[in-house]
Amino acid sequence: MKAVYVEQTHRLSIRNQTISQLGENEVLIKVAMAGICGSDIHVYNGRHPFRTPPVSIGHELSGYVEEVGSNVKNIPIGSKVTVNPQVGCGECAYCRSNQINLCENRQAPGVGNWLGAMSEYFIASANTVFVLPNELDNRAAVLVEPFAVAFHALEKANLTSGHKLAILGAGPIGLMILLAAISKGVSQNLITDIRKYPLEIGEKLGARQVLNIAKHEDWLKHAEELNGGKFDRVIVCTDSSNIINQALQITKKGGKIITVAMFDDEHSINMRDLQGSEKEMIGCMTYNENNFEEAIQFLNETNNLEEIINNLISHILPFNEAQKGFQMVANSQEKVIKVLLEF
């Protein structure tokens, strides 16, 4: 079978790979589609904390069950599935309190022996596999994982419907957080970006306010004006320079800042503001099982799924054009939102 690898910084390849022997608790999935994630781009740029090229890549997928191990009883062959792409050790304090995302020995695709999901076949532990309704669109099924990120961010934010919410960065994750927040009844929301097109998508998906911060040097003031004051929650989905202090500045006293973007560089923080106004800065890492359940429920129940898919997924490419897809995302091209590879 074929599998996509990041061979070195900015260079992908398609390798021929043998499919590993299936373990008794494992599931072999014929991959239909895989999504290019912001974290994959960090690998592509040679700046991922624990994935160093050459590595196989990909962790967002939809596919069909091809074969199951001898102990797997509850996952029928042929079912449509996606995977929670992390496995905990099962023994550490985090695993025992349902926080596999913080496990001391967390395993993920593309690390160690676990081959990435951008391959024709993907093997996952049965307990990480989610069986989806067969009629759920493959494109929607790939979005389960990033939507789980979005729901985890809202959980960390302890967001309620009355909150005034700012989302900084209208990439796929920012837009999915917007949709997740709207689904929870948050009507007072604002989303920012430096590109026009993602903000147009944000508007179509129901954003109350959008703000192109490239157009306003004093965008912090504009954000507060549009909102009628500071925000209860500010979710950071971009790692642009000084974004943390900007987020702090538009957060209410006692409000929370949630960082979802992956930061490559150190940022200094205005501690006087943080401390004196009792603001909280919260890190946010992947998701847990309950967030997958929320994401699946959202995609199953929303009555504008087609509109969501069509707006969020800007490109679908055959997997042998992975290099092109990664380049499009890495360069933040104007009309690029979510890019999927088809297998």
Residue 312 near Zn ion by CB under 5 A? no
**75 contacts Zn ion (rule: CB under 5 A):** no
Span near Zn ion by CB under 5 A; candidates 5-13, 42-50, 82-90, 234-242: 82-90
Task: Give 19 or 92: the residue with its C-beta nearer to Zn ion.
Answer: 92
Q: How far is the CB of 176 from Zn ion (least distance, A)?
A: 10
Q: Is 167 in the site for Zn ion (CB under 5 A)?
A: no
Interface segment toward Zn ion; rule CB under 5 A; list 23-31, 90-98, 226-234, 277-285: 90-98
Secondary structure of the chain in the HEC alphabet? CEEEEEEECCEEEEEECCCCCCCCCEEEEEEEEEECCHHHHHHHCCCCCCCCCCEECCCEEEEEEEEECCCCCCCCCCCEEEECCCECCCCCHHHHCCCHHHCCCCECCCCCCCCCCCECEEEEEHHHEEECCCCCCHHHHHCHHHHHHHHHHHHHHCCCCCCCEEEECCCHHHHHHHHHHHHCCCCCEEEEECCHHHHHHHHHCCCCEEEECCCCCCHHHHHHHHHCCCEEEEEECCCCCCHHHHHHHCEEEEEEEEECCCCCCCCCCCHHHHHHCCCEEEECCCCCHHHHHHHHHHHHHCCCHHHHHHHHEEEEEEHHHHHHHHHHHHCCCCCCCEEEEEC
Contact status: 102 vs Zn ion (CB under 5 A): no
When the beta carbons of 89 and 269 are compared against Zn ion, the nearer one is 89
Q: How far is the CB of 252 from Zn ion (least distance, A)?
A: 30
**Contacting range for Zn ion; rule: CB under 5 A; set: 83-91, 245-253, 265-273, 305-313:** 83-91
Regarding 281 and contact with Zn ion (CB under 5 A), the answer is no
**What CA–CA distance (Å, rounded) separates 193 from 223?**
12
For Zn ion, the closer of residues 96 and 221 by Cβ is 96
Total binding residues toward Zn ion, as defined by CB under 5 A: 7
**Residue of 3, 29, 65, 95 interacting with Zn ion (CB under 5 A):** 95
Binding segment toward Zn ion, per CB under 5 A, in 36-44, 62-70, 112-120, 130-138: 36-44
Q: Kindly state whether residue 88 participates in binding Zn ion, applying the rule CB under 5 A.
A: yes
Please compute, for residue 213, the number of CA atoms within 13 A of its CA located in the half-sphere on the CB side: 20
Q: Closest approach of Cβ 59 to Zn ion, in Å?
A: 6
Q: Does 92 participate in binding Zn ion (rule CB under 5 A)? A: yes
Tell me the closest approach of the beta carbon of residue 100 to Zn ion, in angstroms: 7
Applying CB under 5 A, among 33, 37, 65, 312 the residue interacting with Zn ion is 37
Q: Which stretch binds Zn ion (CB under 5 A): 4-12, 54-62, 168-176, 257-265?
A: 54-62
Give contact residues for Zn ion (rule: CB under 5 A). 37, 60, 88-89, 92, 95, 103
